[in-house]
Structure 1
Amino acid sequence: MGGVVVEILGLALLIQGGGGLINNLSGGSKSWFLLNYVEMPTALHVAGHALLLVIGLVIVVRRKGWSWLKSD
């Protein structure tokens, strides 16, 4: 069961990081990306979302390997 929780956490970080990064780079609103609700300069928001994206990607790749990216 612990592995499923880690995978869900990794996917959540991927979504929060990637979506928040796109949202900030396109000049979007606060929306549902949690890091946008923390008061800090925009540059730190972008860096924070990029960090969440990388952490999420590392977690998912370590759990599933690179094979989950292939569309066979």
Structure 2
Amino acid sequence: LAADSARGQGETLDALAQVMGIETADQSAFRMTVQSNFDTMFTAESTANDVFRSLTTAMAQDASLQKYVG
């Protein structure tokens, strides 16, 4: 997931989008949000919960992705 997130594309990132219910029209915004927040999401100390929390926080700040969190 980290490698795909850094690139903003890949099977793992696509699978995460599908599991989270991200609609096709919003997947580009999802990929860009994940990629642009990579450094915040994936630190040496990050646990899976930390990554998920950072991801949902970043999504909540994007108008097209807010509907998928909270």
TM-score by structure 1 length? 0.36
- Which structure carries more helix by proportion? 1
